[in-house]
Amino acid sequence: MSCRAIALVTLLLLLLPLVATAHDPLPRANWCAGGTPVEVGDINYDGNALRERVVEFCGVVRTCGEFDDYTRSLGAVQALCDEYEPASYRSVAGDYGDVIPLIEEPGEFRNDNHHHAFRIEMGLRGKCVRCDVQRATPPPGHASGQ
């Protein structure tokens, strides 16, 4: 397993205890249980860039209403991650192809009081993670087609 894959699995395991909070980082506790979570993009916004992203998302894509910074920011980064969802996965059953944002920083975005504690000025850092179909890996030294 590559270092990147180990880091992603570690991140997912660290976020699993948060499943009991009001807003889970995963759509369901068993999200991607039959697949392989794969990092497909970075979320790296300072406060100014995040504010621009939120204004663009809320003003052009849809009206966000009078929601707090947490809700508007989550919608904007989910839209970013949705860009990594391949059309070919849309007809596949289960979680395959679903792309979710996993926010690493700031901690205020992930805590139980995130609707009040998080401010756009804090920015966001994390990853877009897609659930890919799990494929068998050939044994070492075995070339395909032999």
Strand boundaries in the chain, DSSP class E: 35-45, 99-105, 124-133
Predicted local confidence at residue 5, as pLDDT? 58
Locate the domains of the chain by residue range.
3-20+31-133
DSSP at 23: S
d(CA 4, CA 105): 18
Residue with tokens 């979710």: 100
Helix 47-56 and helix 69-82, axial crossing angle in degrees, nearest 10: 80
**Segment 89-131, tens digit of pLDDT:** 666 667 778 899 999 999 999 888 888 899 999 999 999 999 9
**Segment 10-67, tens digit of pLDDT:** 555 545 444 334 456 777 788 888 888 999 999 999 999 999 999 888 876 556 766 7
d(CA 84, CA 97): 9
Q: What angle do CA 73, 79, 80 make, to 5 degrees?
A: 90
